[in-house]
Structures are given as structure tokens and as C-alpha cells.
Structure 1
Amino acid sequence: MSGHIYIFTGPTLSAEEGRAELDATFLPPVAQGDVYRATLERPVAIGIIDGYFERVPSVWHKELLWAMSEGIHVFGSASMGALRAAELAPFGMEGVGSIFESFQHGELEDDDEVTVAHGSAEDGYRLLSEAMVNIRATLVAAEAERVVEARTRAVLEQVAKGLFYVERAWPTVLARAAREGVPAPELEALRAWLPRGRVDQKRRDAVAMLRTMRERLAEGLAPKQVRYHFEHTDAWEEVRRRASRLPLGGADGGSVVPEALLDELRLRGELTVAHRAALARALAVEQSSRLGRSVDEVELQRTAERFRLERGLHSARDFARWRETQHVEHLERFLEDESHVRWVETLFATDALRHLPDHLRATGEYGPLLERARDKERVLAAHGLAQPLLADARVTEAELWRWFFEQRLGRPVPGDLNRYAHDSGFAGVDALRRAVLRERCYEHLEGTASR
């Protein structure tokens, strides 16, 4: 067994601080599937400090049980790690620290005791709220140092517990406590004491876990032995299969979209459309996996070539620049999914067309599009232009393409019109030309009629 260790952390303890205590690979907060992927790397131990829980599925108890059944020691502390360790201690997960002990003994029960709001990985997981366990530990210390009385400590704890976790911050707690009638001198004394007296119990427990793991590793860790039989249920196989398609590296490695990016889409009014497109992509990849499709090196190369041509990434430099600007760290996985999506699009082309009218009805586009299509048929037929020629439109072919692409679409005329036609859903460049000619004649006739 390797002597390697994986640690999942984030707002509680930075990777830099963690490396000062333990030689390990530090990954972002754990999410569902991350422990499964880490286990495949055959480490000697896995440590969990922080984990996602709200917009992202939390680390599953069963993947922790599976890791231990595979001979891997699993430790937890401080935050999500303390919760899971308290729940799985009877099965062999090892908890470290006072927060874990409080949950294990039933002194704490609510998940929100360790929950905090924080920034993204790019922002260094900057804390935006205070954990309830830290507030409790800080108030205990303040009472011990006679900064506040026992009664005041109890009221402050009650006030903090009554707040939603994202609102828990000392200024808010103190302001609410003042409205509850807590003596002003005690609140001012606490406010002045906090900068030097605040207790970060989560950080203390996280450091304690790393030191415990370091000591245990130095003593020599034999493969983990468990007394339970791991059941390979259908639900487990489904989670395992989903997890295996993503890279190891936690949710920030690609499974979580930063809230700031979502805000940009919301502000542009594009989140719903982007979400539905992403859902279609997810379902296509899922269906491809269900059907057992695999992608070999030849198919990956073919997909990469088609992708580059479609996006005008003709040179290796263009492609490298695209990878950099789009933050594509795992190109092979991206191309594999892209191949699956294209294959499923072809496989279900007829079904997609059958559902297209209802999609357009849902977006409110079906009626106007249908009305315009019918009017175009009527107007062109009335003028004997159901199948117009270039002479009917009084343009050369070059003028026709410039009118359509430069004036209508605001883009240069493509170098490969046949490829553009196929990518746009036409049978070929002849079908594209007929449609553009009909549009040109219709627009001209409509403009004449309206004058």
C-alpha cells in the first residue's frame, strides 16, 4: 500500500497551513464521489475536514465505508469530517477533536453547528460567516476570562443559534444581543476582547487531526481492517459509475460552478437557457454511458478535429489559447464527453425533432415562427417564387452570401459553406442556398408591401 495521504479542506484550514503539519495532497472540500475517486489512487489514509453540502451532493456515507473496506484509514474532524466521523465511528472512521466528540456524545446534533458561508477557491475560501461551534468556544473562553457573565454567554449563544448560518457574524450577534437587553458594558468589553480572544475551534481540530495522522503514519499504518461486509447495491453502482467520470480534485475541480459565474449568467438573463443546455449535455453523457459506449484514441482525435474546425481553431496555437481562456484542465475528459454528446445527438435526432414543437411552445416561440413560415409560403407562392433562383433575387451568389452572413448575422462569410450548412442542420450547401434565397425574396417582397 502507498504511504500517500489525501486531505479534503477549504475554509477551515488552507492547504498551505495544512502542508506545514503533514506531507499530503490537499484537495478542495469533499463532495459526493471524491472519496471514491481518491480511494482508486490507493492512499494509506484519507482525511476529511471540509465538505460541500448545499448545491452539491455531500460525500456519501457509503463511499467512506467502501474506502475503509478497501483497507484505507479514514479520519474526520472540524466540519463535515467531524459529522461523518461521529456517524461512522461504529464502523471504524476515526474522529479527532472536541467538535467530533461533542457530536459523538450527543452534546451537538445540528449540522449547522459547523456550517459557514465562504467565498470560492479563487477567493481562498474567504469566510463570510462564523461557525456556531466557534461562537460557542469563543463565548466559553470569554466567560472563563470574566469578559462576560454566564447569563450573558447563554443569551449570546441563543441569539447566534437563532440566526441562519449565513448571517452568523459577530457584529450581527452583538447587535441582536443588544436588542435582547444584554448589558452594554459587557457587549463593549466582548467587542474589544474578540480580536485577540476569538477561538477558532474548527481550525484547532483540523490541525489536531493532521498531527494525529502524521503520528499514526510514523508509527506505521497497516491496511485498515473492518468487521462489516460491504454491499454492492444498485445505488452504490450508480454513484460509483457517475463518480468515475470526473477527475480527482474535489468539487472545485469541475463539478461546482462558482456562484459568481452563475451571477454573471443571471445578470445577462441566460442562466435558464444555459442550464437546460447543460442538462441536455448531462443526459447525453449519461445515456451514452448506460449504453456502454467507449471512446478510443481514434475517436478522441476525430472529435478534437471536428471541434477545432467548427470553432475556427485552425492552428495548435489557437487551440492552446482556447484551452487556456476556457480553463480546460482535463482535455481528454472534455473530448470524451463531447464525443458522447455528438453520438447521442445523432442517435436521437428523430426523437429530438418530435419534441422540438413542445420545446418551442414552452419558450413561446412556436406561434410566431409558425405564423412567419406560413406567411412566407403564402407570399412566395403568390409571386411564383416558391423555389427562387439567383436571378429572381437579382444578386450574384457572392452577394447573396454577403447579405446573409454579414448583414443578417453580422459575421464573415464562412470559408467552408458546406460544413456550415451541415452544422446548421441543412442537408448541404444547396439546401442552405435555397433557404437563404427564399428569405431574401420574402424580405424584399415584405418590404415592398409595407411601403
Structure 2
Amino acid sequence: MKIIVFVGPTLPAEDIAACGDIAWLPPVAQGDVYRAAQRRQRAIGIIDGYFSGAPSVWHKEILWAISQDIPVFGSASMGALRAAELHTFGMRGIGRIFEAFRDGELEDDDEVAVVHGPAELGHVQASEAMVNIRATLARAAKEGVLSKSSRDALEAFGKSMFFPQRCWDALLEGAATLGVAEPERAALSAWLPGGRVDQKRADALEMLAAMREAPHESNGTPPKFNFEWTHFWDEFMRRFEAGHENPGASTRQPVVEELRLEGPEAYARVEAMALLRRVAVTGAAPMALPPAAKSLRATLTDIRTRLGLFTRADLDCWMARNDLDAVSMERLVADEAGLAVLRDLSSGALEPFLIDELRLTGAFERLAERAREKSDVLAARFAGSAGAPSGSQALALRLWYFERRLGRPPPDDVEDFARRLGFADAADFDAALLRERLYLDEQRGDKTP
């Protein structure tokens, strides 16, 4: 586990590096805290975040991280705003800016907003934050550089400016029209290079120190709230899990493909435990409306096909043998339909949980080695890509897979079969079959393309 901090223009990279073993990411946007919390970090810190150009970090994803017993700290900029809003729920605010927002001395987001360059240029700052202007003017007045009236006039002028236009040059140019005497203007200009206060930087460094000093292990204290699982949260999870960037993702997919090709029974056993693992980790199952009548009919048909109950008499005898009456049979079908919905809702986020289950069952090493061998074979003979099978080739591959590999006739709905195995669609399934067949042919020495 690591300490993760979202930071941009407030701190340069060298300041963060000097603070020790802290990993930093670009300014936070919506979904970033949720993804970081999924990786079970030691602590998450928010300094900078997007106010425009990307959706801002959502309060609820911070609450979810806290509910997962991950400390979340905030300071200086976006972090101070969110901490002021969520400190009663357990988010840990650090620094004077946080305290000013918490206590109602400051209210507007533009107090911390700045314009900055892209990440490639180090998020170089192109405007001054109002909180820094306030702190600098207060220090200048305390040190006798400005009178109280001049300080108040400059502060009000800075606040009246649109935040991208705030800078010391603009303030000094406007000082004459505000009635600030020329000697004071000259004194302030000469004092600024050494006297300017970067309150955001000071607060951010204080937060990093607090995060380093925080206990490594959780104290087990429950959060100060009950996390409510809503449809909005459910939609949020699916959206950001499906696009979840993970350094191990490129190695996971081939391993899971090997599992899927072993057939529906092998995949279903691992999938069931992976679904349970996901529910345990995230705290609840995805929400869904009760299955519709059409879904219930399709589920009953699938159960009858799976068990060979092709006549009503077969079904009635099976129900009697399994101690099921009409009511309990309806419940069983509804439960099975609900499980199918759960699989569909979780499909975009299930791979890491499938991988963990394979590790614990001892199958991961075997499947990973086979995936590596297959990748090497395809890279050597087909430059890493076997292409997509044609229509007739796809049909031949399906017949080979179902009749020779699984010992069963092809299903009527291959698209549905593929999706049940976790493939995106029938074309994705066919491409996996082609890779498998080419690999096996190469292993046997069959060079027929």
C-alpha cells in the first residue's frame, strides 16, 4: 500500500519527492479517488483538482473511500474545499485554507482556483490564488509595507477580478486607481519577491507531513456515517470500473481468456466466487430493478435446457424430486434471473476479482504460463496478431470448439453463450477461438494457416 496524492500547480515535483515515499498523480477529477481506493492505498490525499474542463471529484467517492477504512486527507485547493464539506464525515482537513472554509471565513471556490499549464510543462501556474493574495497582503500590512486601508483596497480589488486574471502585476497596476500612494506601491513591489506568501504550498506540505505520520495500520474505527448505496452510485461505479486503468490490465486479459476457453462450467465456478469477492470488497451488490417477465421466461428456458427438461412432464418430475412447488420454483427462477443481472452489471469490473480467485485456487500460474506460450507462438508466426476469422472460418471454429473441445452441440444463440463467458460479443469469442486453434496447430506442428 502507498500514500497517493493528487497534486498539480500547488507543489512542484521536487517538493513532493523531498517528502519521502509518496506517489503523486495529476489533479483529481471525478472517478480518480474511487479508482485509487479500489487499489487499497494506505492513504489518499487531495491537493489540486479540476474545477472545469473535467468533472470535479464527487463527494460520494470520497465517502466511499472513507467507508472502506482508507484515510482521505485534503488541503490547499480542491482538497481544502472537499475537506471543509466532509470533515464531519471523517475527511481530514489540514492547513489554514481548510480551516477558513470550515469556519465560514471563506466560501467561494474561486479563492483557490488558478490557471495553469499542462502536465507536460509541470502544471506551471499562470495566475495567483486569492488565498495567497490575502495571506501576502496580511503579511505586508503586519510588516508595515502597507497601511490597513491600502491592504483592504487591494484585497477587495483582487477579489473583484476574474480568477484567471489575478496576478501581482495586475494588482500593482490597479493600485494607483485605488488610492494606494506611490511610496506604498513601490515598497510593495520591492518587498514581494521575498515577502510573498504561498499559503497553498505551505498547507500542502503540512498535509504531506501529516500523511507520513499517520499510522500505517487502520485503527478499525468505523466511519461516522452509513454509506448509502443508491442507483446514482451504482451507475457511477459501472462507468468508472469499465474504464479503470490498471498497470496489470494488459496481463490479466489473456489469463482470463484462457479460463473462459475452458468452458462455461469452469468459468461459472470462478465467476461465482469472483462476484462474491466483488460484493465483499465494494460493500454491496450492484442495484437492479426486479427481473421483467420476459427475463424470467428466458431464465426458465435456460434452466430447462441446461437440465434437459424438454417436456412439461420432465419439469414436473424434476420439481418433485427437488422438493419444489410452483411458488418456490418461481422464487428459484427469479433468483437465477437476478444473478444473471448481477453478472451483467459487474462484467466491466470483474476481471481483477477473477484473477484473485484464480490465484487462491492455484490455477493462475498454469493459465498465465499457457497465455504466455500462446502469445509467444502468435508473435513468432503471426507478428502478434492472428486477425479476425472470416464467416466460414468462424463457423468451422465454433463447430470445432463445441463438438471437439466441449463435447456438446453448438448453442442456438452463440452471442448469448459468448456473453455468459464474459466475452464482449460473438466476434470477440470467435477471435479467441482463432488464437486458440492456431496455437494448438502450431504445437502439433500443423502449419496449415
TM-score normalized by structure 2? 0.56
Select which of 130, 133, 136 maps to 1:132: 130
SS at match of 1:47: strand
Partner of 1:175: 173
Q: Deviations over 1:154-195 (max 9, x none)?
A: 000001001111000100111122222221211111011110
Q: Deviations over 1:62-81 (max 9, x none)?
A: 00000000010111000000
Change (3 A) 1:148 1:294: closer
Partner of 1:146: 144
SS at match of 2:97: helix
CA distance in 2, matches of 1:89, 1:80: 14
Select which of 61, 76, 86 maps to 1:88: 86
Indicate whether 1:26 and 2:30 are aligned.
no
SS at match of 1:127: coil
Partner of 1:384: none
CA distance in 1, matches of 2:148, 2:189: 16
Compute the displacement of 1:217 (Å).
Answer: 3.1
Partner of 2:228: 231
Select which of 95, 98, 101 maps to 1:100: 98
Contact 1:68 1:225 survives alignment (8 Å): no
Partner of 1:76: 74
Contact 1:142 1:148 survives alignment (8 Å): yes
Change (3 A) 1:222 1:293: closer
Partner of 1:246: 243
Contact 2:238 2:349 survives alignment (8 Å): no
SS at match of 1:46: strand
Change (3 A) 1:130 1:228: same
Contact 1:134 1:200 survives alignment (8 Å): yes
Compute the displacement of 1:237 (Å).
Answer: 1.2
Select which of 192, 199, 204 maps to 1:206: 204
SS at match of 2:121: coil
CA distance in 1, matches of 2:51, 2:126: 16
Compute the displacement of 1:196 (Å).
Answer: 0.5
CA distance in 2, matches of 1:104, 1:342: 54
CA distance in 1, matches of 2:129, 2:11: 13
Contact 2:4 2:25 survives alignment (8 Å): yes
SS at match of 1:231: coil
SS at match of 2:93: strand
Contact 2:3 2:43 survives alignment (8 Å): yes
CA distance in 1, matches of 2:426, 2:121: 36
Equivalent positions of 1:301-340 (< 5 A) are none
Contact 1:116 1:129 survives alignment (8 Å): yes
Compute the displacement of 1:53 (Å).
Answer: 1.6
Q: Deviations over 1:73-123 (max 9, x none)?
A: 111000000000000011000100000000000000000000000000001
Indicate whether 1:155 and 2:138 are aligned.
no
Compute the displacement of 1:292 (Å).
Answer: 5.8
Indicate whether 1:16 and 2:14 are aligned.
yes
CA distance in 1, matches of 2:109, 2:427: 43
Compute the displacement of 1:147 (Å).
Answer: 0.6
Question: What's the % identity of the aligned pairs?
Answer: 51
Change (3 A) 1:295 1:20: closer
1:159 alignment partner AA: F
Q: Deviations over 1:233-286 (max 9, x none)?
A: 11111111111133459xxxxxxxxxxxxxxxxxxxxxxxxxxxxxxxxxxxxx
Select which of 112, 119, 140 maps to 2:110: 112
Compute the displacement of 1:343 (Å).
Answer: 7.4
- Higher mean displacement: 12-21 or 143-152: 12-21
Contact 2:81 2:109 survives alignment (8 Å): yes
SS at match of 2:120: coil
Contact 2:4 2:24 survives alignment (8 Å): yes
Change (3 A) 1:179 1:90: same
Contact 1:156 1:173 survives alignment (8 Å): yes
Q: Unpaired runs of 5+ in structure 2?
A: 247-343, 352-370, 389-422, 429-449
Q: Deviations over 1:424-449 (max 9, x none)?
A: xxxxxxxxxxxxxxxxxxxxxxxxxx
Q: Deviations over 1:288-331 (max 9, x none)?
A: x8796899999xx9996659xxxxxxxxxxxxxxxxxxxxxxxx
CA distance in 2, matches of 1:181, 1:241: 57
CA distance in 2, matches of 1:216, 1:291: 34
Instruction: Count how many residue pairs are aligned between Structure 1 and Structure 2.
Output: 270
Contact 2:95 2:203 survives alignment (8 Å): yes
Contact 1:38 1:248 survives alignment (8 Å): no
1:78 alignment partner AA: A
CA distance in 1, matches of 2:12, 2:141: 30
SS at match of 1:25: strand
CA distance in 1, matches of 2:97, 2:155: 16
Instruction: Tell me how large the CA RMSD over aligned residues is.
Output: 3.0
Contact 2:154 2:178 survives alignment (8 Å): no
1:13 alignment partner AA: L
Contact 2:76 2:98 survives alignment (8 Å): yes
Contact 1:30 1:59 survives alignment (8 Å): yes
CA distance in 1, matches of 2:349, 2:74: 37
Select which of 212, 215, 223 maps to 2:213: 215
Change (3 A) 1:160 1:92: same
SS at match of 2:118: coil
Compute the displacement of 1:37 (Å).
Answer: 0.3
SS at match of 1:107: coil
Query: Higher RCO, 1 or 2 (CA under 8 Å, sep at least 6)?
Result: 1
CA distance in 1, matches of 2:426, 2:201: 47
CA distance in 2, matches of 1:304, 1:28: 34
1:173 alignment partner AA: L
